[in-house]
Amino acid sequence: MKNTDPCRISAEKFLKDGNWIDDVVITVENGVITAIEENSQEEAGFRYAYVTPGLVDNHIHGGDGVSVYGSTPEEIENWLVKLAEAGTSGIMLAPSGQPERIRKGLENIRIVMERQKKGEAGGALLLGAHLEGPFISEKRPGAMEAVIPPSVETYRRMTEGYEDIVREMTIAPEKEGAREVIAYLREKGVKIQAGHTDCAYETALEAFEAGVGSICHTFNAARPIHHREPGILTAALTDPAIYCEMIGDLAHLHPGTLRLLRHCKPAERLMLVSDAVATTHLPDGIYGRVEVKNGVNRVKELGCLSGGGCYTAKSVKNLTEIGFSFAEAVMAAAVNPVRWLELDLLPAEGKTVFLTGWNGSREPENTWIGSHLYRCC
């Protein structure tokens, strides 16, 4: 729904630079923040216990029966509205699989992004594409169906005509040809993650030096830590500069593992992602090769997990219930992904509204995206 401009938004607590600021009033005109007043007692039309930057999910494939390559642009647009109503403000859609399927996903992303820019579609803002594969390890495929040797030529063919919307790629850095692809992606300004990888510790250090800056869904589909073969996870956990994604559905990672990430990494280097897929949010049942049981997605014949079980706002709630502070959880879901992707979305005077309003139970009430206000379910 459209909000009423001008309007004022008040927050008992407003998250700024990882800290809570009391009694903040934000003035909005034509979808743009014109003032942020601290310690204000002014009346406001919209009042919340907490106001934070909008949640950005930089690793999501689909949900509610919709996928980036198996659905029409119109179906994706309707789903983006559902995401906004679930508390998500922006996403990076992640095509995966064979190159032709990835190209279909990129085509859909391009169409929807253009329609949003023209004001012809709403919902969570589609920020670009995150290619998860196909340059991954056959030893750590997870639920992935495509494993292709890395090559710059394959990447060029796969993304031709869509290069400008690819913001991020996940790759197994130990594979032959990966070094050349990493150098090419770095030159093009594409953010590079290591994932679905059997990478050794020493190779991981070389990859970080070459331009890999983040770990895809940390601990999942990666060589596990061994005391004599520490692997890429140890390299990432002990390097304060490396970002780490974490799936917060409490199925992919045990609460103790999430606490380990919190203990090892600086708060500004954790990114909360959903890794949601088409079957996320669907009723329990069997959908093709995926079985949903108690909200958890698994590939039937493999028995492995297949995508996250909830969207980002629910993951924020999950983290607060296992010992993360609300500020830490929101930083991981809203601020850190924006900084990793180098996007200009954090709230400030003169910037387009990109906010979430929360109630006292730390559940999202409204998602603000430009001149649109979405009521959260």
Model confidence at 58: pLDDT above 80: yes
Q: Is 140 helix (H, G, I), strand (E, B) or coil?
A: coil
| CA 100/CA 98 separation, integer angstroms | 6
Q: Computed over its alpha carbons, how large is the radius of gyration of the chain?
A: 20
pLDDT tens string 6-50: 889 999 999 998 899 999 999 999 999 999 999 888 888 899 999
pTM of the model: 0.96
pLDDT tens string 144-184: 889 999 999 999 999 999 999 999 999 999 999 999 999 99
3-state secondary structure labels for all residues of 206-259: HHHHHCCCEECCCCCCECCCCCCCCHHHHHHHCCCCCEEEEECCCCCCCHHHHH
| CA 248/CA 251 separation, integer angstroms | 8
Checking DSSP bridges between strand 191-194 and strand 166-171, what pairing results, if any?
Answer: parallel
- For the chain, the average pLDDT equals 95
pLDDT-wise least confident of 36-40, 65-69, 317-321: 36-40
The pLDDT, as a whole number, for residue 49 is 97
The pLDDT, as a whole number, for residue 123 is 97
